[in-house]
Amino acid sequence: MTDMRRMILLGLLFLVSMMLWNAWTAEHEPKILPPSQQQASTSSAPPSAITSAVPVSSAPVSTAPISIANRYINIKTDVMEATIDRVGGNLIGVKLLKYPVAANQPLNPFVLLNNEPDTYYIAASGIIGTNIPTPDQMVFNVTTQNDHQIILTWQNSQGLKLTKMYTFPQDDYLIQLKQTIDNQGTTAWQGNSFTALQRKPAASSGVGPFNSSTYTGAVISSPEKRYEKVSFKQMTDQNIDQTIQNGWIAMVQHYFLSAWVPDPSENDHYYSRVGADDLYTIGMQSPAIQVAPGQQVSTQSQLYTGPELADKLAKIAPGLNLTVDYGVLWFIAVVIFGLLKKIHEYTGNWGWSIVLVTLTIKILFYKLNSISFRSMARMRALQPKLEQVRERCGDDRQKLGQATMELYRREKINPLSGCLPLIVQIPVFLALYWVLMESVELRQAPFIFWIHDLSIKDPYYILPLLMGATIFIQQWLAPKAADPMQRKVMMLMPVIFTALFFTFPAGLVLYWVVNNTLSILQQWYIMNHVVPKSAKAA
């Protein structure tokens, strides 16, 4: 039974590690572009933005660009550098100034939105209706531009005027868009306004434990279902066609997202389309708008384009904070991240915060771990008697099993009592994994010495080697398996897990090193002080 207990514990640990490994490798697999994207286009002009009644990019990226002077308008705030295209009046570029591409490239900001052919990803908006060109054919004039606002206008020969007013806060990622339709003509105009997100699929989605994914794709939200993933495959198979009030749409990826949030009182038509050259569009179309001659009608939307900061997102729209996707164990992960963040307010270092959170979790599970270690210590003390039983029974498996169980009953030992504490802790381990993987706050966060980024692997593999050493010490402290083959397998475990954790993020390996070290100290103390005293008292 002791061997069974050891194999169950070993199997559980290996299962958890393999699930984490699958999640990590899936998230960081090489980017594979579809064949249609492998030949770069010579033009970065946006695809056509409308077919039939719904705005959707349908023409190839190689559509001939409209040639105008000073086509691109740039605006820079404290947190982003944005680019607006006068053709269509869309936001076609966002660089996040506080989030470098890599820790060793502090002056190279992460590019979230761009209009490059292979990585095309923009935030589109505009109007569709009678007697007007398609949105991608509208050329806007700049009427106002300052350090926080850009106003664009377009007007046709019939007197219909569209004004787009973008307002950029200096220290936030939430952009305000006001679209005003001014009918200066002699006949009524009817149509719709729209907002949309269009992108090429940069990489396939990674799948993690329990099919909870570190996800790249679209999301829609409604009062009935606040966070609903719509993968690129789902968009290919079937178009979204829903009417939703008080919702939002988003394109999410690891650490970052873009989301359109409309007026919550509107009943908007939510739609998706897949255009030529693998361009995916998810958008919202307003209810029908009628503008009589001499009248104006305005619609307002908010565009968040930046890091997945749960506390900020929660204030923008219901459920928007769920884009920080902690998976099925989110209710545990939220508590862990809250504790991690609170500790960080005092330490100022995410690495030390991980250490202290690990210590806190260890204290919370101290009693459960004590049960496991007490059982292990008593099993170790029982080894001489078990050896005598094995020698007495020889190769008679049935007799050996009966004699072993009789010894356990006489000594009042349950060999499986150490399994429950580990099973209870597995959800905590998995939740902490997703916290370390999904929280943008830990992206490029330094620790000490050679660890300059907790979100990527240890460059010198020192932490994985330390983790392997702690597993070896735990194996040495544990009772030895009777089966020689099991002993060999157990001796290989430190090597296997060290190799497995070579490419894991340093923050996660740091957690395991600290957790194992604390377990060794607790295990040693119980085996050498607690159990011997209880044995003497008995």
Rounded Cα gap, residues 274 and 234, in angstroms: 10
Rounded Cα gap, residues 223 and 296, in angstroms: 31
Per-residue model confidence (pLDDT) at position 104? 84
Per DSSP, the three-state class of 58 is coil
- Beta-bridge mates of residue 127: 193
Tens digit of each residue's pLDDT (9 = 90 or more) over 449-464: 999 988 888 989 999 9
| Two tokens, residue 434 | 């997703």
- Beta-bridge mates of residue 100: 109
CA distances from 500 to 2, 20, 30, 465 (A): 26, 10, 19, 11
Tens digit of each residue's pLDDT (9 = 90 or more) over 158-186: 999 999 999 999 999 999 999 999 999 99
- Asked if the model's pLDDT at residue 39 lies above 80, the reply is no
- Per-residue pLDDT, averaged over 218-242, amounts to 93
Least confident residue range of 56-65, 434-443, 452-461: 56-65
- Asked if the model's pLDDT at residue 423 lies above 60, the reply is yes
42-325 in CATH: which number?
2.70.98.90
* Between residues 140 and 476, the one the model is more confident about: 140
Per-residue model confidence (pLDDT) at position 240? 93
Q: Which class for 398: exposed (0-12), middle (13-18), buried (19 or more C-beta within 10 A)?
A: exposed
* Between residues 142 and 404, the one the model is more confident about: 142
* Between residues 54 and 176, the one the model is more confident about: 176
- Asked if the model's pLDDT at residue 316 lies above 80, the reply is yes
Tens digit of each residue's pLDDT (9 = 90 or more) over 398-411: 777 777 777 777 76
Q: Which class for 294: exposed (0-12), middle (13-18), buried (19 or more C-beta within 10 A)?
A: exposed
Residue boundaries of the structural domains of the chain: 42-325, 333-537
- Per-residue pLDDT, averaged over 187-208, amounts to 79
* Between residues 438 and 206, the one the model is more confident about: 438
Residue 387: CB atoms within 10 A of its CB come to 11
CA nearest neighbour of 123 among 297, 296, 248: 248
Rounded Cα gap, residues 306 and 173, in angstroms: 6
Least confident residue range of 306-320, 467-481, 503-517: 467-481
Positive/negative CA dihedral, 161, 250, 55, 76: positive
Tens digit of each residue's pLDDT (9 = 90 or more) over 268-308: 999 999 988 889 999 999 999 999 999 999 999 999 999 99
Around 264, how many Cα atoms within 13 Å sit in the side-chain half-sphere? Answer: 7
Per-residue model confidence (pLDDT) at position 482? 53
Indicate whether this model's pTM tops 0.85. no
Average pLDDT score over the chain = 80
Rounded Cα gap, residues 326 and 209, in angstroms: 11
CA nearest neighbour of 480 among 379, 400, 404, 396: 379
